């Protein structure tokens, strides 16, 4: 009601203000009319001034008065305008107040609605309470009726009580009779109790026996399970042993074939070289076959030694500067002639420019992996092409959950940078069920088609072990009859601040080695080996001494302290190369000693170094490798 009165008051004020504005507007219209009237009078006055110069002074005074009147009117007009602005602001304020009052009225109406709802709620509760009271009155009446019934019942019970008392007396007499009978029954019950106790004892013994039988049954069942498991394990072990025995037999048969075949080529064509009347071309052809057979047999022996090193844990990783692009080019040059002879197109691709291709890894193992894969590709490809190379791959950062201090933490997985090498061919391919088995040792020995191809089936197994040693993985994709693609990854660890040298073929021209003529002692008990070394290094020597055992080696060295180099065979009679080296080092620390042995395990190399040897070379000795070693120590 107050709000409504306030609104009525505001409307009245608004009407009053509107009336004032109308009056003000009418005043302004009047003033404008007066102004126009004055202006007309000024025009007439100006015309009058033109004609009446004498009246000029009089009119001038009137004009001054008229101007003052206009100034006054303008001031009044501005004053009215200011009042209008104030009035408009007042109207805006009143509208705001009106909106505010309206909002308050809405809230008040809501409050009234709420109060009505509460009132209705209270009324409903009162109705419920009244109903409850009516119910209670009904209950009260009901209870009163029940009390009347209860009193009637009590009266009945009192009469019944008297009746029961008489019955109790009769019952007492009955109990006396029963007690007498009970004594008689007691004796009978004692006998029955003893009988029941005996039966319970027997039942307990039967339960115990049953439990023992159950335990024994469970033990027997457990023993049966263990026996069944043992039989299963025995059968598996038997199958595995039979499989290993079969694999071993097949491997030995394959090794016999793989070693005897190149030996047949060596001995057979060496015998043919003795045939009189051979032409120069025939002799060169026989020598080429002998050399090829020797290299084949050496590769087989090296594979067996490598597998032995891997299985015995003696194979180590030697991390050093490795120029990947240089290795690709070397392998390409090495296999180009062989591919050309078979009519195969050989190509390679580098994934990084020169400086970036120098990484920290084991260059010998990378070379061995790629060589094995390319050799296999050439072996199993009759026509088409072979491509090898690598790409540089960087995995993007992703968020993963990591377990840290028994809590899962969301963190960024670091980027992984790696090189993925590949060797692809258009060869015979690999059956889907054989693609896993080809990485197992000696698997080719169990292949019925292995007679069609040379090899001991060790190359891929060795390659897989090398890849895993270097922190990578190897896999194969192949379609039988269409070709194969081998892939292996290696971590990309760039070798910093290294500018790789230009890739140039190594020169093995003996005459260009910038070293002085050397005095060399060849300690070797095998005459063919001694002759091979003497002929091979003859161009480098001013004098060659020969010793057949360790004692001779030590004595020759005592008598000739100016000897520059000793080529020390390790397995010599009487005194082996290790002990001979130790004795020489007691009086000569300067002579260069290179150990030569048919053993190729890292343990033997360490023993040679510990004995005092400067370097180490394995048999069969390739002259190029021996000359490189000599150049390493003397070309300064």
Residues 6+ apart with CB under 8 A from 126: none
Q: pLDDT tens digits for 152-184?
A: 666 667 667 767 766 666 766 677 777 777 776
What six digits make up the tokens of 88? 């408009």
Work out the angle at residue 479's Cα, subtended by the Cα atoms of residues 475 and 485, and round it to the nearest 5 degrees: 40
How many whole angstroms separate alpha carbon 47 and alpha carbon 56?
11
pLDDT at 176: 75
User: In the chain, pLDDT over 90 holds for what percent of residues?
Assistant: 19
In this structure, what DSSP letter does residue 59 have? H
Q: What is the pLDDT of residues 193-211, one digit of tens each?
A: 788 788 778 877 777 777 8
Report helix, strand or coil for 487: strand
pLDDT at site 298: 78
pLDDT at 33: 87
Would you state the pLDDT for residue 203? 77
How high is the pLDDT of residue 295?
78
Residue 597 confidence (pLDDT): 78
Is the pTM higher than 0.75? The answer reads no
Q: Give the torsion sign (CA, 488, 491, 492, 497).
A: negative
The values of phi and psi at residue 474, to 5°, are -125, 145
- How many residues in total does the chain contain? 636
Q: Cβ(547)–Cβ(575) under 8 Å?
A: no
- Residues of the chain predicted below pLDDT 50: 398, 445-454, 456, 498-512
pLDDT for residue 449: 44
CB 513 within 8 A of CB 631: yes
Task: Write down the pLDDT at residue 390.
Answer: 95
**What pLDDT score was predicted for residue 453?**
47
């Amino acid at each position: 009601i107050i709000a409504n009165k306030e609104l009525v008051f505001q409307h009245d004020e608004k009407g009053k203000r509107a009336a004032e504005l109308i009056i003000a507007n009418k005043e302004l219209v009047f003033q404008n009319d007066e102004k126009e009237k004055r202006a007309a009078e000024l025009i007439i006055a100006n015309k009058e001034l033109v004609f009446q110069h004498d009246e000029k002074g009089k009119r001038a005074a009137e004009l001054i008065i008229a101007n003052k009147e206009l100034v006054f009117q303008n001031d009044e007009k501005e004053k009215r305008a200011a009042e209008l602005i104030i009035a408009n602001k007042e109207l805006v304020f009143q509208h705001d107040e009106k909106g505010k009052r309206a909002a308050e009225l809405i809230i008040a109406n809501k409050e009234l609605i709420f109060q009505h709802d509460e009132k209705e709620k209270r009324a409903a509760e009162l109705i419920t309470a009244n109903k409850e009271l009516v119910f209670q009155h009904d209950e009260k009446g009901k209870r009163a009726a029940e009390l009347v019934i209860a009193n009637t019942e009590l009266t009945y019970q009192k009469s019944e009580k008297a009746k029961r008392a008489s019955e109790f007396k009769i019952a007492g007499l009955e109990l006396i009779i029963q007690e007498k009978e009970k004594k008689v029954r007691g004796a009978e019950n004692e006998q029955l109790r003893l009988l029941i106790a005996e039966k319970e004892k027997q039942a307990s013994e039967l339960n115990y026996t049953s439990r023992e039988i159950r335990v024994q049954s469970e033990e027997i069942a457990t023993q049966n399970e263990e026996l069944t498991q043992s039989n299963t394990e025995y059968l598996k072990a038997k199958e595995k042993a039979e499989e290993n025995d079969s694999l071993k037999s097949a491997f030995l048969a394959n090794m016999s074939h793989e070693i005897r075949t190149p030996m047949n080529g060596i001995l057979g064509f060496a015998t043919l070289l003795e045939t009189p009347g051979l032409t120069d071309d025939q002799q060169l052809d026989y020598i080429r076959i002998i050399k090829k057979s020797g290299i084949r047999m050496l590769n087989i022996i090296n594979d067996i030694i490598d597998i032995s090193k891997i299985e015995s844990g003696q194979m180590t990783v030697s991390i050093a500067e490795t120029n990947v692009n240089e290795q690709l080019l070397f392998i390409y040059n090495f296999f180009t002639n062989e591919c050309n002879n078979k009519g195969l197109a050989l190509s390679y691709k580098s994934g990084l420019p020169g400086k970036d291709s120098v990484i920290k890894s084991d260059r010998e193992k990378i070379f061995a992996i790629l060589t094995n894969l390319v050799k296999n590709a050439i072996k199993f490809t009759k026509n088409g092409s072979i491509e090898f190379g690598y790409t540089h791959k960087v995995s993007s950062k992703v968020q993963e959950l990591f377990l840290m201090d028994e809590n899962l933490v969301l963190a960024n997985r670091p980027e992984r940078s790696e090189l993925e090498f590949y060797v692809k061919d258009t060869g015979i391919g690999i059956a889907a069920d054989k693609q896993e088995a080809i990485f197992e040792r000696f698997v080719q020995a169990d292949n019925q088609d292995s007679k069609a191809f040379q090899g001991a089936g060790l190359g891929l197994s060795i390659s897989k072990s090398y890849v895993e040693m270097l922190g990578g993985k190897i896999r194969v994709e192949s379609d039988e009859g269409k070709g194969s693609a081998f892939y292996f990854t290696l971590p990309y660890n760039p070798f910093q601040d290294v500018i790789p040298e230009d890739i140039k073929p190594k020169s093995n021209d003996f005459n260009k080695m910038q070293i002085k003529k050397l005095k060399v002692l060849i300690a070797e008990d095998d005459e063919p080996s001694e002759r091979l070394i003497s002929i091979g290094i003859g161009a480098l020597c001013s004098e060659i001494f020969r010793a057949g055992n360790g004692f001779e080696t030590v004595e020759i060295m005592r008598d000739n302290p100016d000897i520059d180099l000793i080529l020390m065979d390790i397995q010599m009679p009487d005194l082996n190369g290790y002990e001979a080296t130790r004795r020489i080092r007691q009086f000569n620390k300067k002579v260069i000693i290179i150990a030569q042995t048919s053993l190729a395990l890292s343990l033997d190399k360490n023993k040679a170094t510990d004995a005092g040897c400067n370097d180490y070379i394995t048999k069969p000795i390739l002259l190029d490798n021996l000359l490189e070693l000599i150049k390493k120590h003397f070309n300064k």
